[in-house]
Structure 1
Amino acid sequence: MTGHYDWKETRDHAMREADLFLQLPDVLRAALAAPGYAEHLRGVDPATITGRAALAKLPVLRKSDLPARHKAAPPFGGFVGKPPGDFARLYTSPGPIFEAEPRHADPWRGVRALFAAGFRPGDVVLNTFSYHLTPGGFIFDTAARALGCAVIPAGPGNTEAQFELIEAYRPTGYCGTPDFLKILIDAAIATGRDVSSLTRALVSGAAFPASLQKEIKSHGIEAYQAFGTADLGLVAYETSAHDGMVVNEDVILEIVKPGTGEPVAEGEVGEIVVTTLDAEHPWVRLAIGDLTAVLPGNSPCGRTNLRIKGWMGRADQTTKVKGMFVRPEQIAEVAKRHPELGRLRLIVSRDNEQDVMTLRCECASPDAALREAVTSTLRSLTKLGGSVELVTPGALPNDGKVIADER
């Protein structure tokens, strides 16, 4: 499969960056019309946010904080500047978090992911994501229809009805979780039903290990992964290169140190923070709690946007030690106060039926005085005692983990 959705996908990096940050000030002005953002971004002049360094100085908005904010100021916590009636559809996700769908075409930015997976105008698509209350089904439904596909709004479950639809309409494309695709294939084999029309799939919402990828492909289905959230829509997607995920156009993706808004060094694992360029419903530095890292270079498929490794775990590593919460941002503050340190990892374990903390710190020039100073800082910030180990640079794994609970 060759080709790209449009010229934007292959433009050079400098042109893309210039375009993104040319649009951003107007998006920030739209965001500031909402009272929640007006408070959250108090004192920010949109005209000055014209590059990544300036953007990185803005506070992050944590997705984990949205349920409490939505409850305090329903339905959107003050972060949407328009009434619910101005949107096309209204949803809820666990939390609860309330989401609104703008009225324009492809509001969740899914067209590029479908195109990269081989979907084309005129295709019939079996969409098995849920259409009930949450936006999952409509994220892929609106994208497929914007691409010019016909959609079977099947939702999950009820395999007998699914088989009737597949045999009648002969869809070539599947959207849904990889798990349900396997269920369909296994049930079809067991009952002698024909699902051979399915030749491509865009999957999301669950792990897609290599073993399952191989099994799905053995049945003649080329499957691609997409990464997104119910708030943002599709953030990144797999292409024909099957080499990481390409970041979607019209979003600004940052990778930051967990618990902070500070960008990580190139290639380091960190938390995903996303800014969207949809003035109808902007998101400004939404920290979604998922970990990833940027891959070097362009994708072999020819697309030139950033590539990420995909989902690499959760950034929220908060844990309780002796009944007190210890958070990644506290460990980040230790690093800030001692710039001679590299990566840090707090290991929480048990010894003699008691919680024990050990902070391992990469350091090029370790000495006893530094170890004592870091120990004092750790106690000051966490109000808990813990030991400190200074290790050589590179001794800690590059996996984004700041707190490792080994109890």
Structure 2
Amino acid sequence: MDAAKPASGFYSPLEGMDREAVAARKFDRLGRLLRHAFTHSEEFRSRMEAAGLVPADITSWEDFARIPPLGKKQLLALQDGGAGLARLLTGGIAGLRRIYQSPGPLFDPEGPGPDYWGFAEAFHAAGFARGDLVQMTFSYHLTPAGLMLEEPLLELGCAVIPAGPGNTDVQIDLLTRLPVTGFVGMTSYLDVIAAKARERGLDLRRDFRLRTAFVAAERLTESLRQKVQDAFGLTIRQGYGTADVGCIAYECAALTGMHASSRGVVEICEPGAGRPLPAGEVGEVVFTPFADAYPLIRLATGDLSKFDDTPCPCGRTSPRLAGILGRADDTAKVKGQFIYPAQAAEVVRDYPAIADWQIVVTNPGGRDALEVRLCCREPLDTAAFAASFQARLKLRPAVTVLPAGETLPQGAPKLTDQRRF
């Protein structure tokens, strides 16, 4: 038996434990987190006091649901471009290992300890183990994804190639010259690699050794999963998390949804209210990681999902998220990046020629596409606008200038997500 795999077959003992026992253990850990955060986090103490609560009031899961959720926009305002970060930390900068930056800008502190972001459980469920050589294609620059997903692989005994994104020809050279058995990145990018490799005359099954791919940061359609799995003869498993809190859920071999992570409390709640909803009802994913340095208690992610609490053939007892079913607010996640209309408005202000605008997200052929539709008063340098948009929001859009006399519908939302899954 591989030394990196526990005898139970699960990474965490909580994965296969009776649900009542799991709930008791989690509530005990949660109580310690609440007391610690109330004492040391200005943000959490203020939120509790505004609700008329102290940690001693939280004696049940029903009491826990009385704590007001923390929305992503609230978090952005609290951080105040970094100036307010101290009010969210419990031990100051001295209690951190790293600070990342995501679009917003939103800062993502990383506390101490191995596998801080909690993805080892997900990688183990996907089948990664000691002896695997894994190509990491998420970014290592400013954003947390690369290191967030590298460290759990090291915990499992894997070796990692920190390839980062892009440079597809180099990616193919690495994948074919070295005995790479694992891929981490976006499925759509692995599909791009497949197309480019075929153009070079490579045989995806003969010239590649890929066995497992772990994908995240975009919605995975079953058609794209099957297409890429069949092309390489590998297995694709997906995980779900955010740059703020790390792993929230992940797939097992049974593909019955994404199991709630054992490293925190996952809730499905009524958007805007924070009231937990029963299994089967669609609501907002709210997550509390067991993280003492940066305790984001009841973080409302803005993602919509629902719980499936029927038994899973894999033996894990946690409820499962039935995918990500949409967004609860006016943002959209495109190719792993959140698109905020407020950021786009900042770009538009630099171009007086623009009279009106709208962002449209589609997914023709299962691939995300970003378009900005513009009504202009005078000629516009669309290439310059696209470059400015990319510099601010990290993605380059297709720019469509509507014909003279054509306007956007009155009251049209600044962002419309027309993707179909």
Which bin holds the TM-score, normalised by the shorter protein?
0.7 to 0.9
Q: What corresponds to 1:245 in structure 2?
A: 258
Task: Give SS of 1:18's match.
Answer: helix
Q: What corresponds to 1:154 in structure 2?
A: 163
The counterpart of 2:65, out of the listed 56, 59, 65, is 56
Asked if the contact 2:82–2:107 (Cα under 8 Å) also holds between the matched residues in 1, the reply is: no
Provide the C-alpha distance between the structure 2 equivalents of 1:77 and 1:272, rounded to a whole number of angstroms: 26
Could you say if the C-alpha distance between residues 121 and 36 of structure 1 is closer, same or farther in structure 2, counting changes exceeding 3 Å? same
Provide the C-alpha distance between the structure 1 equivalents of 2:29 and 2:12, rounded to a whole number of angstroms: 19
Task: Give SS of 2:128's match.
Answer: coil
Q: Which runs of 5+ in 1 are unaligned?
A: 320-352, 357-403
Provide the C-alpha distance between the structure 2 equivalents of 1:4 and 1:192, rounded to a whole number of angstroms: 40
Task: Give SS of 1:188's match.
Answer: helix
The counterpart of 2:248, out of the listed 203, 213, 235, is 235
Q: What corresponds to 2:313 in structure 1?
A: 300
Q: What corresponds to 1:95 in structure 2?
A: 104
**Are 1:217 and 2:248 an aligned pair?**
no
Q: What corresponds to 1:4 in structure 2?
A: 10
Could you say if the C-alpha distance between residues 28 and 312 of structure 1 is closer, same or farther in structure 2, counting changes exceeding 3 Å? same
Provide the C-alpha distance between the structure 2 equivalents of 1:158 and 1:101, rounded to a whole number of angstroms: 28
Offset at residue 87 of structure 1 (A): 1.4
Task: Give SS of 1:78's match.
Answer: helix
Asked if the contact 1:121–1:147 (Cα under 8 Å) also holds between the matched residues in 2, the reply is: yes
Offset at residue 22 of structure 1 (A): 0.6
Offset at residue 147 of structure 1 (A): 1.2
Q: What corresponds to 2:24 in structure 1?
A: 18
Could you say if the C-alpha distance between residues 39 and 151 of structure 1 is closer, same or farther in structure 2, counting changes exceeding 3 Å? same
Could you say if the C-alpha distance between residues 72 and 175 of structure 1 is closer, same or farther in structure 2, counting changes exceeding 3 Å? closer
Provide the C-alpha distance between the structure 1 equivalents of 2:84 and 2:239, rounded to a whole number of angstroms: 28
Q: What corresponds to 1:391 in structure 2?
A: none
Provide the C-alpha distance between the structure 1 equivalents of 2:28 and 2:67, rounded to a whole number of angstroms: 17
Provide the C-alpha distance between the structure 2 equivalents of 1:266 and 1:303, rounded to a whole number of angstroms: 17
Q: What corresponds to 1:139 in structure 2?
A: 148
Offset at residue 40 of structure 1 (A): 1.4
Offset at residue 75 of structure 1 (A): 5.0
Q: What corresponds to 1:39 in structure 2?
A: 46
**Are 1:270 and 2:279 an aligned pair?**
no
The counterpart of 1:81, out of the listed 80, 90, 93, is 90
Task: Give SS of 2:23's match.
Answer: helix
Amino acid at match of 1:185: A
Counting matched residue pairs gives 324
**Are 1:189 and 2:203 an aligned pair?**
no
Q: Give the alignment's TM-score, normalised by structure 1.
A: 0.75
Provide the C-alpha distance between the structure 2 equivalents of 1:87 and 1:139, rounded to a whole number of angstroms: 14
Offset at residue 84 of structure 1 (A): 2.3
Provide the C-alpha distance between the structure 1 equivalents of 2:84 and 2:189, rounded to a whole number of angstroms: 32
Offset at residue 355 of structure 1 (A): 7.2
Q: Which runs of 5+ in 2 are unaligned?
A: 332-340, 342-408, 413-417
Task: Give SS of 1:40's match.
Answer: helix
**Are 1:105 and 2:104 an aligned pair?**
no
Identity %: 37
Provide the C-alpha distance between the structure 1 equivalents of 2:241 and 2:291, rounded to a whole number of angstroms: 16
Asked if the contact 1:298–1:307 (Cα under 8 Å) also holds between the matched residues in 2, the reply is: no
Offset at residue 354 of structure 1 (A): 7.6
Q: CA-atom RMSD, angstroms?
A: 2.3
Provide the C-alpha distance between the structure 1 equivalents of 2:59 and 2:199, rounded to a whole number of angstroms: 58
Offset at residue 145 of structure 1 (A): 0.7
Q: Give the alignment's TM-score, normalised by structure 2.
A: 0.73
Task: Give SS of 1:273's match.
Answer: strand
Q: What corresponds to 2:174 in structure 1?
A: 165
Offset at residue 70 of structure 1 (A): 0.9
Asked if the contact 2:168–2:193 (Cα under 8 Å) also holds between the matched residues in 1, the reply is: yes
Q: What corresponds to 1:279 in structure 2?
A: 292
Compare CA radii of gyration and give the structure with the larger one.
Answer: 1
Offset at residue 92 of structure 1 (A): 0.5
Residue by residue, what CA displacement relative to the aligned partner does 1:82-128 show, whole Å, maximum 9, x if unpaired? Answer: 22243111101111111111221000000011111110122111110
Could you say if the C-alpha distance between residues 74 and 125 of structure 1 is closer, same or farther in structure 2, counting changes exceeding 3 Å? same
Asked if the contact 2:303–2:325 (Cα under 8 Å) also holds between the matched residues in 1, the reply is: yes
Offset at residue 227 of structure 1 (A): 0.6
Offset at residue 239 of structure 1 (A): 0.6
Provide the C-alpha distance between the structure 1 equivalents of 2:224 and 2:274, rounded to a whole number of angstroms: 35
Amino acid at match of 2:42: P
Asked if the contact 1:176–1:204 (Cα under 8 Å) also holds between the matched residues in 2, the reply is: yes
**Are 1:254 and 2:267 an aligned pair?**
yes
Offset at residue 28 of structure 1 (A): 1.0
Asked if the contact 2:81–2:106 (Cα under 8 Å) also holds between the matched residues in 1, the reply is: no
Provide the C-alpha distance between the structure 1 equivalents of 2:81 and 2:188, rounded to a whole number of angstroms: 37
